[in-house]
Chain A
Amino acid sequence: AQSVTQPDIHITVSEGASLELRCNYSYGATPYLFWYVQSPGQGLQLLLKYFSGDTLVQGIKGFEAEFKRSQSSFNLRKPSVHWSDAAEYFCAVGALPGGGNKLTFGTGTQLKVEL
């Protein structure tokens, strides 16, 4: 069965500093990987996704993520964090085609930005 681990429950960074959120997955085949962001009281918004091809994926709001098969990782990065980036971030892995597009989510990383 597929699974996702986000080892950091909380992360605090200063505004303008760089950010890296970790995500490790367990899956038996080529994974479909996603990063979502959830602002307080809101639903989830897709930041970026990886299906195949270039292992460095660009997303919205200046975020990027790199797929590393050898490390089973899909870490999210941003070179300079803005106060508005404070939110909860979820990594997810998708099922194979025909599997109903089901997603398995990690437990999330809460990002706090210090001004």
Chain B
Amino acid sequence: NAGVTQTPKFRVLKTGQSMTLLCAQDMNHEYMYWYRQDPGMGLRLIHYSVGEGTTAKGEVPDGYNVSRLKKQNFLLGLESAAPSQTSVYFCASSYRTSGGTDTQYFGPGTRLTVL
């Protein structure tokens, strides 16, 4: 049981390049999330998904796109990278319980630098 995994762990891009970050979970979770972490700002939600084939915007969605074609995978895309997107990106997943908010399980993160 690997939990939440992220690929790649590190990446350096030039301004204007594109890339896709992959998140995979093996816990059969319905919900998945992408966050970015910047110094002094905590984690901010980029996009999230409440099920296969559905996505929604979070707090800071501009410049990113996502897809959830399979329940276990959640992809985060940068179409034209900008230096402001230099950050550490975390993926998380959770169940959706009838009682409300459930624990989110986090991946190890992807450190992205845009030059």
Residues of A within 8 A of B (CB): 4, 9, 32, 34, 36, 41-46, 49, 51, 90, 94-97, 99-108
Contact = CB atoms under 8 A, between A and B. Distances in A.
Interface of B: 4, 31, 33, 40-45, 48, 50, 56, 58-59, 90, 92, 94, 96, 98-109
Contact of A108 (B31, B42, B106): B42
Contact of B106 (A41, A44, A104): A44
Contacts, number: 70
Nearest to A96: B100
B42 A106 contact: yes
A102 B101 CA distance: 8
A95 to B, nearest CB: 7
Contacts of B58: 102
Contacts of A51: 99-101
